[in-house]
Chain A
Amino acid sequence: MSEASPAKAYALHLGIIALLFVLSFVLPEYYHGLLARIMVLAVFAMGYNMLFGYVGLLSLGHAMFFGAGLYGAGLAIIQLGWGVPAAFIAGIACGAVLSLIIGLLALRTTGVAFMIVTMMFAQVFYLLILYFANWTGGDQGQVVPQPARVLDFGATALDLTNPTVRYMTALALFSFVLLVTLAIVRSRYGRVLVGIRENEERTKMLGYDTFSNKLMAVVVSGTICAASGAAYALLFGYVGSSFASVQYSILPLLWVLLGGAATTIGPLIGTVFMYYVIDVTSGYTSAYLLIVGIALILLVLFFPKGILGTIRQRWLGWLP
């Protein structure tokens, strides 16, 4: 947050983007596909981190924002026959509107009540998906047809089901959100958010309308999560209610805490780490959740601020 070393921070972030770009050409096929998925979900985690890490608001309902993007984009194609760009924008718009409404209501509460209220709104969202099953496909979900998942530019067409195109699209979204996050965090607005997290009363007494600022953060966070959901629907071709279930509200929290809350790169690291642990351990035993559980506890015992948070605390204080 300090004014020092902006160049270092930008260099690091561009370096990570460059690394991910290069990885596209060297990774074995399976990890290539997996990383595309991880980047999309890391965007979800970054959106979550915006609110949880920087404003200190712990939501247990972010699955609804991811779901809003997922269904907004997916149903625009399946039910309305829209094209990919319009569907993507529809998904993001759904997330923005939903997060504005939820923000207006839920921000009247704080602390644990905020957790519970967001969880309950997400539950309502989930049940609505089931209730309107004729439209949404309910719990079984629906496939976004493969022929519809093509970005048509007239002369050339980008097939989102092609692994390379998919990877690069995911990378583009990830890079955009990463840089936007970095810019927000380093901006004056980012400083206000941190002020609210650290001491809301004091921030108010410095002349800030903390409610509006928090509302803005909820909308930014919800919109980023919706972008992730919309991209998921378009890139992976499935919309289903399990992505709006409470499990998908807990996952981004977990990824962010693992990687390091209030770090820009932590969400990516946490998501990669969690995926890697599950992927590797599930190869050895069907009881991999046991190992995941133990890993979580060890991590929180020995890296209480998450992987990157602990690194920042001990070694690299300039990390954004």
Chain B
Amino acid sequence: MDKNKTFNLSKTGLTRRTALKGLAAGAGLAMAPGFVRYSQAQSSAPIKIGFQSHRTGIGAAYGRWYEKTTAAAVKAINAAGGINGRQVEVIIEDDGTDPGRGAEVVGKFATQHKTDIVFGTLFSHVVIGSAPAAGENKMPYFVVSEGHHVASTKLNRYVFQPGITDVKSQIQSMAPWIAANAGKKVTQIFPDFAFGYDHRDYLPPALKAQGAEVIAQIAIPPTESSFTKYFPQIPAETEVIYHVMVGPAVLTFVKELGEFYGSNRPQLFGFMDSLEAVDINSPGLEFLDGSHFWEGSPRYAQADDSAAQKAYRAAVGIDDNGAAVGDPKDVSTASHMFGCWETLYVVKKAMEDAGYKGPEDRAKLVEATEALTAFAEGPEHPQGPKTFNGKIHQCFGIQNISKVEGGKLKVVHKTKIEDGLYEAEGDYTKQAL
């Protein structure tokens, strides 16, 4: 897949289309064998989904798994007859995990590839940087980012996040369990940038509502590669360390925490974002044994996994340990990538509701998406049931709390959707289309 910009799994597996970049997308299409007949008949032409992928830059570890999950979902959708009877084709452009390039890529999808939608962005700054381009091009933009940006209603009417719960909701739904099971005095350690600020801002009120409190907040600059010097700021009476670190330095963080505390440590509660794509059995992570993590979708296969979850894992190609089948060292980003799968099924549903025919129906697609209210657990939504708030373009689902036990993550608690609901901050549907 690496060398190919497009893939159409239902037809010939990976369709090689390297000779693209005709001035018009139509010309490019005509050059590729196997696509000629589509240009005659609009009704059977594939639905084109522009996938804004982090192939290079800081997000590259996520981008690869997002691509894998997307490929699996598209394969499944196409095998079942596609969307509105049309096959789905995914066109990938790398955004370099850069907001400037991200906006250019959205423009490229809109004006050169002429895709029907743009999809798949993870990193928040790329989402926010690309959102204006999506709005101006009137291009429905389905992100899988978990940031609170969409639900904040600061973006625009064309941006949706229907496949993964936003971080504000995630944090809020963790509070009851932490207060009841881990401890009442919580010290937070988080990166000193926007992703960390969500945790900084949303956890204290949520804990307070549960009778617990945040006694210290330690923000760590994003450029930091060593953390020990911050640990003395952790108050001695801390019962729970709530940690959420991202980026390549996170292993160091855990190891140094281990060296600092040894076996005599407070409870640990972390967000899986820290260890996505990282083997939980890496040297130095023994320290995490017995600690708890938020997980979006469980990395390890659980005893009570639904049939849908099992089918999803098989389709994406991850084994019981959440690593690539055949390569146990290639650990997936299970907590987030399910969002790609589910988002594509939301797109499918909305397109079918809207009777979507082509780019001229994009406004109808937006309205049809906004009209959605709930997604039932099942093959299309293997992570669990969700509700969808069309006014803020955001879905809300259940969250998992898992314990590290014997080198695996075992789900010990599932939150309720209601735990994560909050007051809407605005209403996109009042904006013009």
Interface status of A207 (Cβ within 8 A of chain B): no
Residue B133 CB within 8 A of the other chain: yes
Q: Fill in one digit per residue for A11-40: 1 if any B CB lies within 8 Å of its CB, else 0.
A: 000000000000000001111111001000
- The residues of B that contact A282 with a CB separation of less than 8 Å are 93-94
B391 within 8 A of A: no
Known contacts A34-B107, A242-B99, A242-B125; is-contact A140 B149 (Cβ 8 Å): yes
Q: Is the CB of B2 within 8 A of A140?
A: no
Do the beta carbons of A140 and B98 come within 8 Å of each other?
no
Min distance, Cβ B63 to any Cβ of chain A, angstroms: 9
- Interface status of A93 (Cβ within 8 A of chain B): no
Q: A43–B23 Cα gap in the complex (Å)?
A: 26
CA of A34 to CA of B112 in the docked complex: distance in angstroms? 11
A285 to B103, CA, bound (A): 20
Residue of A nearest to B108 (CB): A30
Contact, CB under 8 Å: B193 / A130: yes
In the complex, are the beta carbons of A29 and B111 less than 8 A apart?
A: yes
- Which of A143, A242, A279 is close to B131, meaning CB atoms less than 8 Å apart? A143
| Pair A139/B222 contact, Cβ less than 8 Å | yes
Q: A146-B156, A243-B100 are in contact. Are A237 and B222 (CB under 8 A)?
A: no
Inter-chain contacts of A240 with B (CB < 8 A):
99, 125, 128-129
Contacts A143-B155, A283-B5 hold; do A242 and B132 have CB atoms under 8 A apart?
Answer: no
Q: In the complex, what's the smallest C-beta–C-beta distance from B147 to chain A, in angstroms?
A: 7
Specify the chain B residue showing the minimal Cβ separation from A251.
B100
Chain B residues with CB below 8 A from A138, complex form? 193-194, 197
Per the bound structure, the CA–CA distance linking A34 and B103 in Å amounts to: 10
A34→B23 CA distance, assembly (Å)? 13
23 A-B pairs with C-beta separation under 8 A? A29-B111, A32-B111, A34-B104, A138-B194, A139-B125, A140-B124, A140-B128, A141-B99, A142-B154, A143-B154, A143-B155, A144-B132, A146-B156, A236-B132, A237-B132, A238-B99, A240-B125, A242-B125, A282-B93, A282-B94, A283-B5, A283-B18, A283-B20
Residue of B108, B111, B129, B147 most packed against chain A (CB within 10 A): B129
User: Which residue on chain A has the smallest CB distance to residue B112?
Assistant: A30
State the majority secondary structure of interface residues on A. Answer: helix
Question: What is the distance, in angstroms, from A30's C-beta to the closest C-beta of chain B?
Answer: 4
CA A241 to CA B129, docked complex, whole Å = 11
Complex CA distance for A237 and B107, rounded to whole angstroms:
13
Chain B positions within 8 Å of A, measured between CB atoms, are: 2-3, 5, 18, 20-21, 23-24, 55-56, 93-94, 98-100, 103-104, 107-108, 111-112, 124-125, 128-129, 131-133, 135-136, 147, 149, 154-156, 192-195, 197, 221-222
A286 contacts partner chain B, Cβ-Cβ < 8 Å:
yes
B125 touches A146 (CB 8 A): no
Contact B132 A28 (CB under 8 A): no
1/0 per position for A118-131, CB-CB distance to B under 8 A? 00000000010010
B-chain residues with CB within 8 Å of residue A4 when the two chains form the complex = none
| A33 CB, min distance to chain B CBs, angstroms | 5
Task: Please tell me which one of the listed residues B5, B18, B20, B56 contacts residue A289 in the complex, with CB atoms under 8 A apart.
Answer: B56
CB distance from A252 to the nearest CB of B (A): 13
- Asked whether A140 lies within 8 Å of B20 as measured between CB atoms, the reply is no
Residue from the list A238, A243, A280 in contact with B128, Cβ < 8 A: A238
- A141-B125, A240-B125, A286-B55 known; A28 vs B194 contact (CB < 8 Å): no
- Chain A residues 141 to 160 lying within 8 A of chain B, measured CB to CB, are 141-144, 146
Cβ of B194 and Cβ of A30 under 8 Å apart?
no
